[in-house]
Amino acid sequence: MITQIDHIGIAVSGLEQQIPFYRDILRFEFIGIEDVPEQKVRTAIFRIGETRIELLEPTSPGSPIAKFIEKRGEGLHHIAYRSDGIEKEIAFFKGKNISMIDELPRNGVHGSKIAFLHPKSSGKVLTEICQITGEMNE
């Protein structure tokens, strides 16, 4: 079941240029930086209340984030909703004829499992479902 908004993903060209705004100006709690090689992305993670903001920097010109920035520029990339059972969510969406980018969960930050719904099935908003494990599970 989906339980809350987990995070908002924001595509950026460089983390170092953007981190001070979120950390020093907005004063969000800075959690840290993590590389996610499978996604070809480096993330800076902030917490505001129960929600996280993830800045997403491409680590390869062929990464989805690099392609997004090339096509649309920096900015809002996706909204992620937390689930307590990602496999069940994927099966539910498929049963409702929702177009999935990921039909199987893949790895996200801090060992989480993630899957994306195609924007054509979710009101033109790239939507991520994530199941949190480890230190981010609060």
Rounded Cα distance between 12 and 54, Å, is 10
CATH code reported for the domain at 2-136: 3.10.180.10
Residues 57 and 14 sit within 8 Å (Cβ to Cβ): yes
Contacts of 61 (CB under 8 A, 6+ apart): none
- Identity of the amino acid at 24: D
* Residue in this structure with the two tokens 């505001």, named with its chain if needed: 48
Q: Can you give the pLDDT of all 138 residues of the chain as single tens digits?
A: 999 999 999 999 999 999 999 999 999 999 999 999 988 999 999 999 999 999 999 999 999 999 999 999 999 999 999 999 999 999 999 999 999 999 999 998 888 999 999 999 999 999 999 998 765 444
Percent of the chain with pLDDT over 90: 90
Residues 119 and 46 sit within 8 Å (Cβ to Cβ): no
Q: Where are the domains of the chain?
A: 2-136
pTM: 0.90
Strands 75-83 and 2-11, bridge-based pairing? antiparallel
